[in-house]
Amino acid sequence: MWKLNQRCALLLIIFSRKERRLQQLTLIQTLQGSLMQGSCQKVTQVNPPPVENAVVITRRLFHDDWKVIMSSLKRQTESTFTYHPFHAEKALIIFTYPWNAKSLCSNLGWTSVEKFQVKFEFWSIEKYAGKKLIPSYGGWTFFRGIPIYA
């Protein structure tokens, strides 16, 4: 079913729609010697953090720096977390405890974190990680007056 063409680099994430939790993360790692043989040597299973600890933060202004926003959020909430920007205006925050995520997401609308305007919402698999079908009506687009080397 799965053929490992790219030297055994395979990452499987299995989601349970019913529980909306991340059930299993299987990472097949390659060792340095296995690149010559073309076979995988080690399988590692990692337990990811629960989805209840994940929060999506949206910044209002594009020019605000993520590092400055996150450092001010750490000072304000006095909690530990990691963040991963995944969009121009959105980042995923993973807290160590779920009550931090619940308290931030209880604020509806835009919230001030020092001088920055941000919005917090819970991570949703359907909203942020689901497949989306965008309808296309086809057709060609013609551009005139643009040089070939542009």
pTM score: 0.56
Residues 83 and 118 in one domain: yes
pLDDT digits (tens, 9 = 90+) for 30-76: 334 444 455 554 555 545 567 888 999 999 888 888 999 999 999 99
Q: Which domain holds residue 95?
A: 51-125
Residues 68 and 120 in one domain: yes
pLDDT digits (tens, 9 = 90+) for 82-108: 998 888 899 999 998 889 999 999 988
Say if 140 falls within a structural domain.
no
Q: How many domains does the chain have?
A: 2
Residues 21 and 50: beta-carbon distance below 8 Å: yes
Say if 137 falls within a structural domain.
no
Say if 80 falls within a structural domain.
yes
Residues 42 and 75 in one domain: no
Edge-first strand order for the sheet with 21-29 is 10-16, 21-29, 42-46
3-state secondary structure of 27: strand
